[in-house]
Amino acid sequence: MVENMSGFACPKCGEITLILRGGGGERIAADRGFPFCGSIPTDPKIVEAGDEGSVFVRHFAESPAAGIMREIVRTLFDRSGVPLTGGEPAAAKTI
């Protein structure tokens, strides 16, 4: 399970601020026996990339949300036993 809109990533400084209570996704995953993979903050750059037809993690690789998304993908690949090829920053460009 991935918790979406977990906090707000400031477009100026990148700081993640909890607007709503955090941890709900993690609690639901624990209650239902699902693995919890992480929490992705709301980031205005996600909308911008989508409106432009760009891949968010590629176009805004330096964003905290993009870093979190890459970590979630790595976690999923690790758990599945599938090797994730490429390193930083190449992995950021291929995910």
Q: What is the pLDDT of residues 24-72, one digit of tens each?
A: 889 999 999 998 989 999 888 898 999 999 999 999 998 889 999 999 9
Q: b or e along 47-74 (b: 16 or more beta carbons within 10 Å of the residue's beta carbon)?
A: eebeeeeebbbeebbebbbbebbbebbe
Tell me how many domains the chain contains: 1
Q: Is the pLDDT of residue 92 over 50?
A: no
Residue type, 32: R
Range of the domain at 23: 2-94
Give the largest Cα separation in the chain, rounded: 38
How far from the centroid of its chain's Cα atoms is residue 32's Cα?
Answer: 22
Rounded CA-CA distance 57/48 in Å is 12
User: For the whole model, what pTM was predicted?
Assistant: 0.73
Rounded CA-CA distance 27/6 in Å is 13
Q: Is the pLDDT of residue 21 over 90?
A: no
